[in-house]
Structure 1
Amino acid sequence: MPHRIVPHLSPARLALYRAECKDPSDYRAGALYTWQLELHAAWYEVLGLVEMLLRHSLDNALAGWNTSSSLPGGGTPDWLLSSARPLNSLSRSMSSDVRTAAKKAAARRAPTHPRFGAAPTHDDFVAQLTFGNLTHLLLTKTAPTNRSARATGFSGRENLWLHAAINAFPNRHDVWPAGARKDTPGRQVCLGYHIGNTVERLRVLRNRVGHHEQTLAANHAARHEDAILLARAIDPYAAAAITQLSSVPRVLARRPRF
């Protein structure tokens, strides 16, 4: 029974649920707490699938761009090992981290593993990219207002978006149509910030869910829409599958009301 969990919650944590219930009852606080557990479990499925889609699509987009780049570090799809400007400065730290993590993961393979004893490959490195790493490669916050100091008018991360990362979202125009406006580079940059901030909102939620923080005040319906729209921008068929699988809307509808 949910109320039996309540004595094991710290007073500070429990106070949040009691305040939400507007009642000191252990039964109500316990019911709300366990409902949030169910909601977080539902989010794990959705966010895990969206993160996988994003990782795979960004990898393909960056690998294709890096292969065709004639700049130093280009000419190879292994962009985490050798990358051209401006990706090299953005990926340097994460490249070191994922290589270390991939080597440790390879060392832990059981003798029955089909790749036991094999050296890590690019796929192993990509598998170690975190949601935070993926967000770091995209545009977040707001666009700069003064571009006069930049030779191209765009920052390195903006140029990476315009020439590479944008291709990770092939159906972006179906999700976020341009309307009557022409699809100018300026508009593409604005769309890049919109997509990057969408990813950032999902990253923040994923971290809160992962640490089992209290998320009662989060706009779960809006974040669920973010997740589905982002998936649609990558692959509408995958987005349809995630929509069908997701139990987030159903769990939200069952939120205890006091």
Structure 2
Amino acid sequence: MTPTLFQALQAARRAKRPVLLATRLSDGAQALVGPDGAHGANLPEAVVAAARQALAEDVARTVEVEGARWFLHPHNPPLRLIVVGAVHIAQALAPMAPPLGFAVTVIDPRRAFATGERFPGVALDHRWPDEAMAALGPDGRSAVVTLTHDPKLDDPALDAALRSDAFYIGALGSRRTHAARLARLAALGHAPETLARIHGPIGLAIGAETAPEIALAIMAEIVAVRRRATLVSPAREAA
């Protein structure tokens, strides 16, 4: 890898920009490809298309184009799960995410709930959600889940998430609760098509009842959205 290419790759990783390193196996020629195409290189269009797909799927692969084999290696920013509310469902959800590649942060200013004893090994943020979300800066590799049922905590987090590139936004609550929530967020200036980004009631329809089951339904929906799988109706209408 040339010093210029290495510096460009490192700069993209520091800035948390998705980028893919394409290497022609016959001679080691390399180029970087982002979601909007190749930069500083004249790659065959089929290589760029395959690279963008590999980047979106976050899967390395080898492709053959015009008789040449290319190795496509995505360098995506880390996956993050930002949970608002240190509640029982969050306790079940937090350990499920790391094996799936997600770094977890739980936001809750209520220090009696957000403790290391209840969330061992999990990053805890005791700031109010608007401050915490501004500092965390959700991006296209972030999922945001609100679980408190308290508009003072959930609404600022959802407001921030809707103004971000978060790939998944979910909120716990019944259909009635969600309708009231949407009305409040609309009053903050969010259009209907923006509000449609919120998954609420949250989770896949697996008949979840217990906190671990609801957490499983939420995590399954996050993975399905990330992988662009076909989704079914929400899992639970929590009170």
Structure (1/2) with the larger helix percentage: 1
TM-score normalised per structure 2? 0.26
TM-score normalised per structure 1? 0.25
Of structures 1 and 2, the larger Rg is shown by 1
Give the structure, 1 or 2, with the largest relative contact order (CA under 8 Å, sep 6 or more).
1
Structure (1/2) with the larger strand percentage: 2
